[in-house]
Amino acid sequence: MSLPLIVLRPEPGCTATVTAARAQGLDARGFPLHAIRATPWTPVAREAFDALLIGSANALRHAGPALAGWRGAPAYVVGEATAAAARDAGLEVVGIGGNGLQSTLGLLDPRHRRLLRLAGRERILLAPPDGVTVIDREVYASEPVAMPRGLIDLLRDAAVPGVVVALHAGAAARHFAGECARLGIDRGRITLVAIGPRVAALAGAGWAASPVAARADDAALLALAGQLCQKRAEG
């Protein structure tokens, strides 16, 4: 018997991850700790940019009607899920990064020097290569919600030897840690598995373990989570 795997990411990603995890035989349970909403943004002239830069499929889901004006435009994205969403939106995916937007900038075609980044309210600061300009447009926000009773009960259940919690984003890591502190939940019974080093760092210390996936994608995260669920259950 393996430990439960807790997925905190917002919908629809939460359901997608839980479904994939259960297909691998994991006892996965979804408890989204954020809700995504679109934010108003001012569209910009397509001719002013050479390509789009997109770190999350949420940007594509919530960019609104203005995104239609970019059909056929080249796009650099992070991860296969974002790439699929970009293609569905009619964009031409020309580069797929596996470890965040900063590393994705290393894939740039020399012709693409002016980039429009569609992003969330919380985003990392990028350091573009020499001669490259990145302009940000905030198109969505991730709003935290209180930890639901079902998750609180699970984390406090003495009959459960522990849980593994999947962290897909820095906001989730910080909010989950804050909720555990607010509610007095024992971190020592919780193993984290983070999609990247920055995410793990934002969760802070005191957990049973907090390893990082080999790549910044859901498949790598679930592969590591599966190992941890089994290993921790075996003691």
Domain boundaries, the chain: 5-33+145-234, 36-143
Q: In this predicted structure, what is the pLDDT of residue 110?
A: 96
- Reduced to 3 states, what is the DSSP secondary structure of residue 141? strand
Q: Are 169 and 142 in contact (CB under 8 A)?
A: yes
Q: In this predicted structure, what is the pLDDT of residue 122?
A: 87
Q: pLDDT tens digit string along 121-130?
A: 988 899 999 9
Please, where are the H alpha helices in 89-217? 101-104, 149-156, 170-183, 197-203
Q: In this predicted structure, what is the pLDDT of residue 235?
A: 60
Cα–Cα–Cα angle for 1, 228, 4, rounded to 5 degrees: 50
Can you tell me the mean pLDDT for 10-36? 96
pLDDT at 1 over 80: no
Domain 5-33+145-234 has CATH 3.20.20.100: no
Q: In this predicted structure, what is the pLDDT of residue 177?
A: 98
Q: In this predicted structure, what is the pLDDT of residue 127?
A: 95
Q: pLDDT tens digit string along 102-112?
A: 999 999 999 99
Q: pLDDT tens digit string along 136-190?
A: 999 999 999 999 999 999 999 999 999 999 999 889 999 999 999 999 999 999 9
Locus of tokens 């569609």: 118
Q: In this predicted structure, what is the pLDDT of residue 233?
A: 61
* Ramachandran region, residue 60 (left: φ > 0; alpha: ψ -120 to 50; beta: rest): alpha
Assign a CATH topology to domain 36-143. Answer: Rossmann fold (3.40.50)
Same fold, 5-33+145-234 and 36-143: yes
Q: pLDDT tens digit string along 28-56?
A: 999 999 999 999 998 899 999 999 999 99
Q: Residue 72: is it exposed, middle or buried by C-beta count within 10 angstroms (0-12/13-18/19+)?
A: exposed
- The edge-to-edge listing of strands for the beta sheet with 5-7 is 28-30, 5-7, 163-167, 190-194
Radius of gyration of the chain (CA): 19
**What pTM was estimated for this model as a whole?**
0.84
Can you tell me the mean pLDDT for 208-223? 92
- Say whether the peptide bond before residue 12 is cis (omega within 30 degrees of 0): yes
pLDDT at 77 over 80: yes
CA torsion through residues 161, 20, 11, 42, sign: positive
161: tokens are 């030897």
Which residues lie below 8 Å from residue 65, measured CB to CB, with a gap of 6+? none
Can you tell me the mean pLDDT for 214-235? 87
Dihedral pair phi/psi, residue 3, rounded to 5°:
-70, 155
| Mean pLDDT, the chain, whole residue set | 94
Q: In this predicted structure, what is the pLDDT of residue 231?
A: 76
Q: How far apart are CA 90 and CA 173, in angstroms?
A: 32
